[in-house]
A and B are shown apart, each in its own frame.
Chain A
Amino acid sequence: MILFILCFILFVIGLYGVIMQRNLIKIIIGFAIMEYSVILFLILIGYIDAATVPIISESFESGPFVDPLPQAMILTAIVIGLATKALLLSVAIRLYKKYGSFDIREMKNLRG
């Protein structure tokens, strides 16, 4: 259970970063950390004691395997995460050009 709690703490740190940081890049980092914690959480779920890598092989006895489904899901999630981060970074670099800084506090034209 401690693993899950640590995972949750990692999530909270990421969240805290997103909330408290003023710098766009650091907000993105905080967001990425949140994402890591969720990814890790799913893999932790799928782990089974004394199970092997889910690859069928003739050389050694196959199974029991760890749950392959979360791994398949996470493979997708990692790619999605990469896509999101790339997009965020490209927006950040554009924002830097427009505002001359990475400070999110200055970006409040849209309010009210």
Chain B
Amino acid sequence: MELYLIIMLALMILGSIYSLHAKDLLSAVVSYGIVGFALVISFLLLQAPDLAIVQVVVEIITLIIMIAVITNTTHETESKKLGLGAIFYSVSVLLFVTVALLFMSRFAFVLNSFGQHVTRMADNYVGSVAETGSANIITGIIFHFRAYDTLGEATVLFTAVIGVICILRHEELKAPDAVKIDVIQTMPKGMTLVVKNICQFLAPVIFLFGAYVAIHGHLSPGGGFTGGVIMASAFIFQILAGGSVLDKLRKEKWRLELSESVAIFSFLLLAVLGLLIASALVFFANFLPTGNIGELVSGGIIPIGNVIIGIEVCAAISSIFVALLIYKDEELG
């Protein structure tokens, strides 16, 4: 078991070294993908299927975005070297590594070694997860005990999406709707017919699968985030394969933005409802009956939260992608 992990880590190290030294950006990105997928396998080995699912989809989406960026800009990397500065930098990093390792060696023996972890707070979560009605302890934690964190997490994603949209917005546009942009560039017509057809068939299936993962988040591995990312990937595939016109993309972006904010707002409302409904004025109270473990309708607000977050994540990630496409059309096309 440890051996497999070591191999995976070695793979990650090799992948990252290659990725940083590749001349061509595309190969750098691809070998970076290898690192990510090795991480997914490590997660599986470490008994973290939820993470593995999220990571694999996040990895794919990151790669898609990166490749989209690269294909729209350049593959080339700078050939110039750093010269004398490089020596200084290397020495500094070496110094840091030496000092850090020395330091860590001083206390390494007091820490629990790998696999000997002693839980404390987590005991409580595991012990009381039954009251949440969620079979998946992680979902129980993130939507029940630490739902507040999840609100924060969803907000981070929301913020980033607003940020990406802001940064990629059309520069000349001084007021969002006052000026009509004259660049009516069409997207490429999409991929070949075969791909289009397959995608048209596959995308709803993937989407459904994502929805399933989100809805069953409290029962099986996965949850709102995982499901949301999967749904987003379905959406992205469809756009990539089918192609789209700028005007349509803009409408799409707005719809996504709206559904994202509505979703996260309803998550906040869900939390505030707890504040209003629960007798003790509790923020994030799980005010619905929790039911029995293993049933679909159980876990109180957990499944609702899962679905809402699923929608939010799906819309968020899709709108990042759509924003990139629109940017490409408006600024580069």
Contacts and interface: CB of A to CB of B under 8 A. Distances in A.
B77 A23 contact: yes
A14 B15 CA distance: 11
Contacts of A2: 6
B221 to A, nearest CB: 7
A39 to B, nearest CB: 7
B331 A55 contact: no
Nearest to B142: A72
Interface string A44-62: 1111110111111110000
A70 to B, nearest CB: 8
A79 B332 CA distance: 29
Interface in B87-128: 89-90, 92-93, 96-97, 100-101, 104, 108, 113-117, 119, 121-122, 125-126
A23 B225 CA distance: 31
Given A15-B93, A25-B28, A43 B12 contact: no
Interface string B209-246: 00000000000110101000000000000000000000
Contacts of B221: 53, 55
Interface residues of B, number: 99
B286 interface: no
Tell me what chain A mostly uses at the interface: helix, strand, loop, or mixed: helix
Tell me what chain B mostly uses at the interface: helix, strand, loop, or mixed: helix
Contacts of B48: 43, 53, 66, 71, 74
A-B pairs with lowest CB-CB distance, top 3:
A83-B160, A49-B115, A54-B137
24 contacts: A3-B9, A7-B9, A10-B9, A13-B17, A19-B92, A23-B25, A25-B70, A26-B25, A29-B16, A32-B62, A48-B117, A55-B135, A55-B136, A56-B137, A56-B294, A57-B135, A67-B122, A71-B50, A75-B225, A83-B159, A90-B163, A90-B324, A93-B168, A102-B73
Interface of A: 1-10, 12-17, 19-23, 25-26, 29-30, 32-33, 36, 39-40, 43-49, 51-58, 63, 65-69, 71-72, 74-76, 78-87, 89-94, 96-97, 101-103, 105
Given A16-B20, A44-B46, A79-B157, 17 more contacts: A3-B114, A13-B16, A20-B20, A20-B89, A26-B25, A26-B28, A39-B39, A47-B47, A54-B136, A56-B130, A66-B47, A68-B138, A72-B149, A78-B55, A82-B62, A90-B163, A102-B77
